[in-house]
Chains A and B, each alone.
Chain A
Amino acid sequence: MSTNPRMDARGREESVVPISSSADIVTARQRGRALAAALGFSGSDLTLIATAISELARNIVEYATTGEIVLSPDGTAGRPGIVIIARDEGPGIPDMSQALSAGYSTGPGLGMGLPGVRRLMDDFEITSHAGRGTTVSVRKWLP
């Protein structure tokens, strides 16, 4: 199994998908889609969430080689939703504002990665330290 469910402090199920190959990208987005569907998301939201997970997992494979995607229910804003955390211990992002501007990419991608993910989701946070890795947290709330 490439995923292992574990419980968070409030007893809700979260799943951690280790990311180290392109097959893991597929696993992560299918897992995320299933969790989002279980939480009550439907239609285009499921696709937007799965696509965002795909891009985040792809960033890990392209820039950091390995990392993980953590999928869990979210209630932090007082409304139900899903939170997706993409975490790696890769090289980090040297110029954050550049990485968040459309069209920029140092990798083989389209340069749509992070700005695109930001547009797909309701909330977007990123922390990155040179040489110590990057963590991206994104949320989508139930409509």
Chain B
Amino acid sequence: MRVPILKQSQYVIASIQSALSDEELLQLRDDLAHDVGKYRSRGVIIDVTVLDVMDSFAVRTLRAIAHMIRLRGAETVIVGIQPEVAFAMVQLGLTLEDITTALDLEEGLACLNQQMAAGTRHVH
């Protein structure tokens, strides 16, 4: 199933609805990289609340998505990582490195608003 992507003012929001296969996650990556241009978005939120497993592939792909989105001129916030998933990620040694995370959608939006207000443009 394709992850629905909603445009909300200057952001796009991808709400993952169910467990994703690798192909579906890669499809999300391609869709987001495209939609950021289509909607001229400054920020992307990926809501992973429903994911009960984030394995090495999922984490690596989310990192790749955030880096691609940054190259497209927008910022990404991953929201909704569940406490058990966070625990498993730490045990596995998986990190999101410099990717911004927030508790939930509301906090994620606040986070992006703050970054936009500060005019933050990361250079990497």
A residues with a Cβ closer than 8 A to B are 22-23, 25-26, 29-30, 33, 43-44, 46-48, 50-51, 54-55, 58, 102, 109-110, 112-113, 115-116, 119-120
Contacts and interface: CB of A to CB of B under 8 A. Distances in A.
A120 B93 contact: no
Q: Which of A26, A47, A55, A109 has the most CB of B within 10 A?
A: A47
Contacts of A22: 21-23
Contacts, number: 71
Q: Which of B21, B22, B57 has the most CB of A within 10 A?
A: B57
Interface string B2-27: 00000000000000000111110000
A51 B91 CA distance: 10
Contacts of B56: 55, 58, 109-110, 112-113, 116
A120 B91 contact: yes
Contact of A51 (B19, B20, B23, B55): B55
A74 to B, nearest CB: 20
Contacts of B59: 110
Given A26-B21, A47-B52, A116 B92 contact: yes
Contact of A44 (B20, B84, B94): B84
